[in-house]
Structure 1
Amino acid sequence: MMQISIDSASNKHSLINVMHRFIAAANNMDETIMVPSLLRDMPLEEQSKSQVENNNNEPPSLNKQRDMYEHYLLLKSIKNDMEWGMLKREMSSGASFLEMAMKQEEQKPVTGEIPVDNNTDLEHQFHFHLKGLFGVLSKLTLQADDLTNRYKREIGAANFMR
């Protein structure tokens, strides 16, 4: 059985650490949001200044979630997929994000390029996907933290109005 060295797990730039940060943020979000239905009809448009500054070079993302409640459910679903993997999805017969991505990849048109041996560029593919995974997990962590903080503000404002 392979063991993870303590040095790699304690490195703040390790994939394991980035995964733990997202899961911790999602758990905090889940523990803080006691009444998720309050998130219904709250638009996602409010973003922290740090996110806006970080996204200056990126085109504006189109959030398919219409409100914070759907975004909350998405973050919980991703966390569950990370913790339980494909087994839980197979048992419930639902399609995971990985399965949907694979189906989209299969539907891409043939471009006429010469097929490349799968083993020739594995290191490049690994680093490409690792970089993408770091970016996605970092953004998801920020989104979970932002959703938690916004919920706290909304609930705090409601408590003062009584």
Structure 2
Amino acid sequence: PLQILDSSLTTAIAKYSKAARNMEQMVLFPSLLRDVPQEDQASDEGRDLYDCYVKLKAIRMSLEQGLVPEDKEADGKITTAFSGEMFYHHFKGLSTVLNQLTQESNVLTSKYKDLLGVAQ
């Protein structure tokens, strides 16, 4: 079960990284995103697509650079203070967030293409 969760999380991270990199490669002029409102203003009140772009890029870089060092035992296994149920709860939340970030990256890329008049 833990291997399945690990594989699923790895897949979610890879999908997000791919979507965010695609976004970065497409958005050659991030300043064009200034003052373009986000579709869902409920979560980021008053923010534009430029703010969203900066956030998504920073999250990708943090994920790939690994800001949080792993706590390893002498035998190389990662230690955890979570019970199985608590771990699953946090894992599910992280997976949900990664999926949302992937979707945001894809939407932002599509909107940028629309701004430039690029066919999708």
Question: CA shift at 1:86, angstroms?
Answer: 1.8
Count of aligned residue pairs for this structure pair: 103
Aligned pair 1:24/2:18, yes or no? yes
CA distance in 2 between counterparts of 1:65 and 1:15 reads 31
Sequence identity of aligned pairs in percent?
36
Q: Which consecutive unaligned segments of at least 5 residues does structure 1 have?
A: 48-59, 88-117, 158-162
Which runs of 4 or more aligned residues in structure 1 lie more than 4 Å from their structure 2 counterparts after TM superposition?
A: none
Contact 1:68 1:147 survives alignment (8 Å): yes
- TM norm structure 1: 0.58
Aligned to 1:41: 35
**In structure 2, what residue type is equivalent to 1:66?**
R
Aligned to 2:65: 84
CA distance in 1 between counterparts of 2:46 and 2:95 reads 22
Question: CA shift at 1:65, angstroms?
Answer: 5.6
Post-superposition Cα deviations, 1:86-134, rounded to whole Å, max 9, x if no partner, equal 27xxxxxxxxxxxxxxxxxxxxxxxxxxxxxx95x62111101000011
Aligned to 1:98: none
CA distance in 1 between counterparts of 2:67 and 2:12 reads 20
CA distance in 2 between counterparts of 1:82 and 1:151 reads 24
Question: CA shift at 1:63, angstroms?
Answer: 1.1
Over the aligned positions, Cα root-mean-square deviation in angstroms equals 2.4
Change (3 A) 1:15 1:124: same
- TM norm structure 2: 0.76
Aligned pair 1:74/2:71, yes or no? no
